[in-house]
Structure 1
Amino acid sequence: MAKISIKILNREGVLLREGCAEEEINLLYDAAYQEGDVIVAETDEKDAFYWLQLDDAKGSSLVYVKGDLQYEIPFGEKRINLSPKVFSGERHLIHMRKARPYEYQAYRNLALNVSDWHENTGSYPHASANVETRGESVFAAMNVIDGVTASDSHGRWPHESWGINRREDARLKLDFGRLVETDRIILYTRADFPHDNWWVKGTVTFSDGSSLELNLEKTGMAQEFTFEKRKIEWLTLGQLIKADDPSPFPALVQMEVWGSEA
């Protein structure tokens, strides 16, 4: 059985709260978070699936854990891409549970991870990019896998997106941390018109060496693309071509990658 431990440390590394259990843990923290506080989640069974909830207002995701997790509680600009309810107040519930086979073997959105963060190297899926507008949280790559599809504006939650800072070579990477099988991608591009531009084309490159050209439309609704099944560990979205429009600001709100374990 997997042994799971969760700790909350302050900026000096002082232990504020700790819990340990087998297979599933609920850790209640009755205090307001302070800047520099860190949640540390550890398990003795790596390369396995877990349900992870870093905050009761944040929700949970099915993640593939390859290493220990260290999540610093965001403050100031670093939290405006999150609901204002997240990490607020003086009562917080952190939850982690070993996933059951029928949960992770299902056909599902393999990209969804409400608990991704910029420095995340221990859990997957994980989103990263070669550019994020001004380094601001509301334009970070992780926003495209947080499950929020509100596309009619830009800026603070729920209108966070991946912003490319006008880069012609902008590229987003989505890592799964293991081999998966996919046959469907759904994109939501930002549609805060006339502030926004939009992409008319983009190319998805898969880790197996294949690629898929996407023809995109001027819409904030879901754009779905199906293809023959591919077994991959990661993919990138790049070669993005803007429409002939005065606005220089196209952006991606959400990316879903549907499939199953390989």
Structure 2
Amino acid sequence: MIAESETPDERDARRAHAGKSSGETYAATLRQLAPDCVIDIVQPADDDAPAYAPEDLLRYDAVFLTGSPLHVYDDTPAVRRQLAFMRAVFAAGTPSFGSCAGLQIAVVAAGGRVRKMPDRMEAGIARRIVATAAGRSHPLLADRPGTWDAAAIHGDEVEQLPDGATLLATNPVTRVQAVEIRYDRGIFWGVQYHPELALGEIAIALRRQADDLVAAGLAESDRHVEAQADLIEALHREPDQRAHRWRLGVDGELADEERRRREIVNFLAALPALDRRPAGAVAPAG
């Protein structure tokens, strides 16, 4: 199952710019990695979304939570519905994976906190991500080098992890870059960056958020945002082009599609070993 946190208007806007909603992007990525998989896409944040009970989720091998413009600290009906859905996922014990807002939803559903990033954003490329001591031996980050860059665009971040969470990776801009959360019967693996996205989609996102990037001081003008987006788009078209990598200061961890998706690949490989906790397991406090 893929759970979109975008509202209908946001899904339509993303399709108009990128050709797919966030859930449709995830589905395309998963079908490339696991061609025989069967996927249901749901929209738990929508006004007319059904209320999912834990037993509704038991038949799924995994649940994926997408990114979106959702601000998890806003007390809105859409946020409350998304959090209720994630708590049902935890109660079902179905393993789950999320990126960006998907990570933040899981954090808050399990008792943690998310905030607007103070006076900054992380946009285009998350630089110098490093695994923590726990992350260096964690299967989510298997085969990642000592430090790596990843596709990212976000203005919110995890402020406090919940009980039952293990920080797996960090960088100088955003402390929580990768995490495991064990809550109720469930286990969640997530990242603040976007292993599911093509670099062309990151370029589109930069152009769409040009005003925010200028306001955050990451660019002096829309023209500078456009120039950076053009470089990322060029790398998307020619990932092996050494000149593009040099101009962006990146290597194959970002440029190569297979390596960029490593966390999703690792999660899929680990699914058979992710034991569901027994019924009646007590949720951590908070």
Same fold (TM over 0.5): no
Tell me which protein shows more strand as a share of its residues.
1
How does the TM-score come out when normalised to structure 2? Answer: 0.27
Larger radius of gyration: 1
